[in-house]
Amino acid sequence: MSDSAHEELLRLAEAVPAERIPAATALLRQLVRPTARREFSCTGTLSAEPDLAERSEEVLRDEIGRTGSPE
């Protein structure tokens, strides 16, 4: 959009009478593309034992113990 078109849009929006603002807002909403929901391509790609969620604390303790980190 050119700067002049953007400036005109802002000027027109500022000139809308208070009682017509809801109608102007509804009209502009029809022109704006809705924000698409983000989809994560990695969702559901984990392959593990069926009880991994139940054993998560145990797995974390084992992995932290392997690094030799003091607790």
pLDDT tens by residue, 35-57: 777 777 766 666 777 777 788 88
What confidence score (pLDDT) does residue 61 get?
A: 86
Higher pLDDT, 71 or 48: 48
Tell whether the model's pLDDT for residue 26 goes beyond 70: yes
CB atoms within 10 A of CB 24: 14
pTM of the model: 0.44
Q: Which residues contact 1 (CB under 8 A, 6 or more apart)?
A: 9
Give the side-chain half-sphere CA count within 13 A for 46: 8
